């Protein structure tokens, strides 16, 4: 579980309609709020891509062409699924990954980010179901 902070919204990991398990808002979240930071291990991009090839889920956030964060054993933010109409976004600051809400998010909503904004290039089908879904990510 995420550590409890009094001024932070509560998040919960639940079964997702998009993929596997997802991260959900257990309480309403205001717009532009920092939800926390993705934890993981700093890895080299080339090796990490080879290791991830063929896997169903993406747990890699690439900072540049050399370094990425492998969050496969990180905190609950590793369950953030992709949506082509994401309600959250990632801010990459040096080698840290912060998670923010875009607009206000209702309690019970699944939190999503747009992987397309994080330099990820994969050949996976997108199942987000959002209007305007790009179909692949």
* 88 vs 86: CA distance, rounded Å: 6
The site for Zn ion, by CB under 5 A, has a size of 4
The answer to the question of residue 126 lying near Zn ion (CB under 5 A) is yes
Going across the sheet that includes 60-62, the strands are: 41-44, 67-70, 60-62
Question: Across 1-137, where does the E strand assignment appear?
Answer: 11-15, 21-25, 34-38, 41-44, 60-62, 67-70, 81-82, 88-93, 96-101, 110-113
* 89 vs 29: CA distance, rounded Å: 14
The answer to the question of residue 58 lying near Zn ion (CB under 5 A) is no
The answer to the question of residue 45 lying near Zn ion (CB under 5 A) is no
The answer to the question of residue 18 lying near Zn ion (CB under 5 A) is no
* Closer residue to Zn ion in complex, CB, 54/135: 135
- In the complex, the smallest distance separating the C-beta of residue 118 from Zn ion, rounded to whole angstroms, is 15
* Closer residue to Zn ion in complex, CB, 63/112: 112
Residues 6+ apart with CB under 8 A from 46: none
Cβ neighbours, 10 Å, residue 103:
10
- In the complex, the smallest distance separating the C-beta of residue 129 from Zn ion, rounded to whole angstroms, is 7
The answer to the question of residue 113 lying near Zn ion (CB under 5 A) is no
Give the range of 15-23, 51-59, 66-74, 82-90 binding Zn ion by CB under 5 A.
82-90
The answer to the question of residue 133 lying near Zn ion (CB under 5 A) is yes
Binding to Zn ion in span 84-103, by CB under 5 A: 84
Q: Can you give the binding site for Zn ion, defined by CB under 5 A? A: 84, 126, 128, 133
């Amino acid at each position: 579980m995420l550590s409890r902070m009094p001024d932070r919204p509560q998040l919960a990991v639940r079964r997702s309609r998009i993929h596997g398990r997802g991260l959900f808002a257990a309480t309403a979240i205001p717009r532009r709020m920092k939800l926390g930071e993705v934890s993981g291990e700093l890895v080299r991009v080339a090796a990490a891509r080879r290791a991830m090839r063929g896997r169903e889920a993406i747990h890699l956030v690439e900072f540049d062409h050399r370094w990425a964060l492998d969050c496969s054993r990180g905190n609950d933010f590793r369950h953030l699924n992709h949506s082509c109409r994401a309600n959250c976004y990632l801010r990459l600051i040096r080698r840290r990954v912060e998670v923010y809400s875009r607009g206000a998010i209702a309690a019970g909503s699944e939190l999503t980010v747009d992987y397309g904004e994080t330099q990820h290039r994969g050949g996976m089908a997108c199942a987000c179901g959002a209007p305007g879904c790009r179909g692949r990510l």
